[in-house]
Amino acid sequence: MVRPVVAVLERHLLLYRRLWRASVFSAVVLPVLFLVSIGVGVGRHVGEVGGVGYLAWIAPGVMASTAFQVAVGESTYTVLGGFKWGRGYHAMRAAPVEVRDMVAGWLLYVLFRVEVAVVVFLGVTGAFGALRSPWAVAAPVVAALVALAAAAPVTAFAASIDHDSYFALLFRFVMIPSTLFAGVFFPVEQLPQVVRPLAYASPLWHGVELSRAATLGVAPPWPVWAHVGCLLVFFVAGVVWAVAAFGKRLQD
Amino acid sequence: MAVAVAVVRGSVVGLCYGPGVSEQPLVRARGLVKRFGDFVAVDGIDLEVARGEAFGFLGPNGAGKSSTMRMIGCVSMPTSGELRVLGMDPVREGPRIRARLGVCPQLDNLDPDLNVRENLTTYARYFGLSRARARARAEELLEFAQLQDRAASRVEPLSGGMKRRLTIARAMVNEPDLVLLDEPTTGLDPQARHLLWERLFRLKQGGTTLVLTTHYMDEAEQLCDRLVVMDGGRIVAEGSPRSLIETYSTPEVVELRFADEADHSGKLAGIGRVDPLPDRVLLYADDGDAAVAEVHRRGLAPSSVLVRRSSLEDVFLQLTGRTLVD
């Protein structure tokens, strides 16, 4: 007998099979173009950062940022729509699918989306010679942590709101700042002391530092367990929130 | 020690008087209440639905029908009172109950981006069917819903009637013991309604237990063996459509319209019960034609006269003093 969480994952994958072409550009082609234009173009003026070429330095950051953006982007309209427009979650609720199965099945789907994008991206990165350490094999694991740490709370947020205009706030005040100040394009040490806690509070910064540690084989600024711990806190808190938000939304 | 004895005796009593498996009702409610803040949606109702029955909730919008259905469907928790569905407690055993229910909600929640067949197979998987079984079941249900030739079509462009048939077919995917239909034909054109009724009648003939809500009298008369009339969260009457009409109405009803605005109730007194409505006067009679003859004998000249069979609409009017369809 198939577990409900698998049935939920299958449903999302089936829907994705119809829509995947539209996502290839933003999830796969765009990050690569980004890497090439900034890494090569800007890199020529920047020279070396942290002892490596600029492209090799930003590649792990762009990878983590891609994982972050795919996870956040997926977990907004699609989740709200499942309650508000298509009512797919109400259909699951009438079947013996429990809220935890819905959340878990959804996060597994986001993980799948992120891993596909990240593995393709790492392949391209490797072709540019930007993977400098055997630890690079750990980069997809880091991407998975970033994806879950971002998708869980955003999914919960999307399940809590009534109108999609709240997403504009999320993009403007959470997603864009946490991308800009997360050490993707420049080391956070260059930020004024007062602004740095912003980076520390962003799950993306922890992901960027971990993936940089992986692809370049250098030690991250904090101990690995501390970065992983921060990401896990976002993930666990997000899951708790999401289960509560789904339950509340489907209750009455 | 005394406490221990009491506990043991309590459990023995529970065993002795526990409901028998064979004749226990599929749905049993006692003093069931649902409140949303200060608003009382369901105000202490008692009901039982037996296996094989087609049971209806009849009432206007806001009567508490859908709230009751959602509690039976284990997606809304009772505020107080007792509810058993398939002999189980919806609060503690929701998923086990839902595994054996088929639910057709008031608002369609099909996956618009999946095709017709995929909607059925995806839903079957939620109930734990294997892929092969899900595909086989989908084929059977496509035939039931008469959608074989639309199997590969996306749901979005289907007509309202087709979507409803697909939603009902989807609700049958787990071969449920009990099917809940919340206003199954609301918003459909007459032809689509009749086709749907015919499908539901087939389910009923096959022995499926149906519980449905409706605010259409003809639907309740067509489909229900037994129904309750709800108004303001309470059950105001219960019985078969026939017995409700016999109890609360007369076999025939005469509808009289007058060209003038005058009140003719006085002149009609004694012929039968008179119910003056804004646009017409209803006259309840055992024999409609005889009543019309008497109206004319008294010198009244209505501009139009209609003699018809009494319907549940008349029952509702008699019970609540209001017409059902606004």
All domains in chain B, ordered by first residue: 27-239 (3.40.50.300), 250-310 (3.30.70.260)
User: pLDDT tier at A26 (50, 70, 90 boundaries)?
Assistant: confident
Q: Looking at residues B124-140, what average pLDDT do you find?
A: 96
Shortest alpha-carbon distance between residue B123 and chain A (Å): 8
Residue with token string 């699951």: A92
Q: What is the pLDDT of residue A166?
A: 94
Q: In 3D, which of A158, A64, A163, A149 has the Cα closest to residue A110?
A: A149
Q: In 3D, which of B82, B23, B91, B14 has the Cα closest to residue B47?
A: B82
Q: Looking at residues B3-10, what average pLDDT do you find?
A: 38
Q: Report chain B residues whose CB lies below 8 A from the CB of A91.
A: 109-111, 123
Q: What is the pLDDT of residue B266?
A: 83
User: pLDDT tier at B3 (50, 70, 90 boundaries)?
Assistant: very low
Q: Report chain B residues whose CB lies below 8 A from the CB of A96.
A: 95-96, 98-99, 126-128
Cβ separation B128–A7 shorter than 8 A: yes
Q: What is the pLDDT of residue A68?
A: 96
Q: What is the pLDDT of residue A146?
A: 97
Q: Report chain B residues whose CB lies below 8 A from the CB of A88.
A: 109, 111
Q: What is the pLDDT of residues B175-218, one digit of tens each?
A: 999 999 998 888 888 888 898 889 889 888 888 999 999 888 78
Q: What is the pLDDT of residues A101-156, one digit of tens each?
A: 999 999 999 999 999 999 999 999 999 889 999 999 999 999 999 999 999 999 99
Q: Report chain A residues whose CB lies below 8 A from the CB of B128.
A: 1-4, 7, 96
pLDDT at B8 over 70: no
Q: What is the pLDDT of residue A111?
A: 97
SS3 content of chain B, % helix, strand, coil (to 5): 40, 25, 35
Using an 8 Å CB-CB cutoff, list residues of chain A that contact chain B. Answer: 1-4, 6-8, 10-11, 14-15, 18-19, 86-88, 90-98, 250-252
User: pLDDT tier at A238 (50, 70, 90 boundaries)?
Assistant: very high
Shortest alpha-carbon distance between residue A66 and chain B (Å): 26
Q: What is the pLDDT of residue B10?
A: 36
Q: What is the pLDDT of residue B26?
A: 95
Q: Looking at residues B285-307, what average pLDDT do you find?
A: 91
Query: What is the ipTM, given to two decimal places?
Result: 0.90
pLDDT at B305 over 70: yes
pLDDT at B275 over 90: no
Distances, alpha carbon B26 to alpha carbons A47, A189, B50, B178, B227, in Å: 76, 67, 6, 8, 15
Alpha helices per DSSP H over chain A: 4-24, 30-36, 43-46, 54-74, 77-84, 88-94, 99-127, 139-160, 166-170, 176-180, 196-200, 203-216, 224-251
Q: Report chain A residues whose CB lies below 8 A from the CB of B103.
A: 94
Contact between A214 and A133 under an 8 Å Cβ cutoff? The reply is yes
Q: What is the pLDDT of residues A59-95, one digit of tens each?
A: 999 999 999 999 999 999 999 999 998 889 999 999 9
Cβ separation B130–A2 shorter than 8 A: yes
The shortest CB-CB distance from A91 to any of B77, B99, B123 is to B123
pLDDT at B104 over 90: yes
Residue B275 backbone dihedrals phi, psi, to 5 degrees? -125, 100
pLDDT averaged over chain B?
87
Q: Which residues have a Cβ under 8 Å from the Cβ of B232 and sit 6 or more positions away? A: B43, B63, B64
Q: Looking at residues B154-163, what average pLDDT do you find?
A: 92
The shortest CB-CB distance from B105 to any of A1, A90, A98 is to A90
Q: What is the pLDDT of residue B57?
A: 94
Shortest alpha-carbon distance between residue A98 and chain B (Å): 7
Q: What is the pLDDT of residue A1?
A: 59
pLDDT at B17 over 80: no
User: pLDDT tier at B276 (50, 70, 90 boundaries)?
Assistant: confident
Q: What is the pLDDT of residues A185-232, one digit of tens each?
A: 889 888 899 888 888 999 999 999 999 999 999 999 999 999 999 999
pLDDT at B96 over 60: yes
Q: What is the pLDDT of residue A75?
A: 96
For residue A81, the tally of other CB atoms under 10 A from its CB is: 15
Q: Report chain A residues whose CB lies below 8 A from the CB of B107.
A: 87, 90
Nearest chain B residue to A105 by CA distance is: B126
Q: What is the pLDDT of residue A40?
A: 85
pLDDT at B236 over 90: yes
Dig out the tokens for B92 from the structure.
């503690």
Q: What is the pLDDT of residue B324?
A: 64
pLDDT at B68 over 90: yes
* Window from B73-77, B260-264, B288-292 with minimum mean pLDDT: B260-264
Q: What is the pLDDT of residue B4?
A: 40
User: pLDDT tier at B138 (50, 70, 90 boundaries)?
Assistant: very high
pLDDT at B40 over 90: yes
pLDDT at B1 over 80: no
Q: What is the pLDDT of residue B316?
A: 85
Using an 8 Å CB-CB cutoff, list residues of chain B that contact chain A. Answer: 36, 70, 73, 75-77, 95-96, 98-99, 101, 103, 105, 107-114, 118, 122-123, 125-130, 174
Q: Report chain A residues whose CB lies below 8 A from the CB of B174.
A: 95
Q: What is the pLDDT of residue B22?
A: 54
Q: What is the pLDDT of residue B220?
A: 87
Q: What is the pLDDT of residue B268?
A: 86
Q: What is the pLDDT of residue B29?
A: 96
DSSP one-letter code for A98:
-
Q: What is the pLDDT of residue B325?
A: 58
Rounded to the nearest 10 degrees, how much is the dihedral formed by the CA atoms of A58, A60, A65, A66? 110
Q: What is the pLDDT of residue B89?
A: 95
User: pLDDT tier at B5 (50, 70, 90 boundaries)?
Assistant: very low
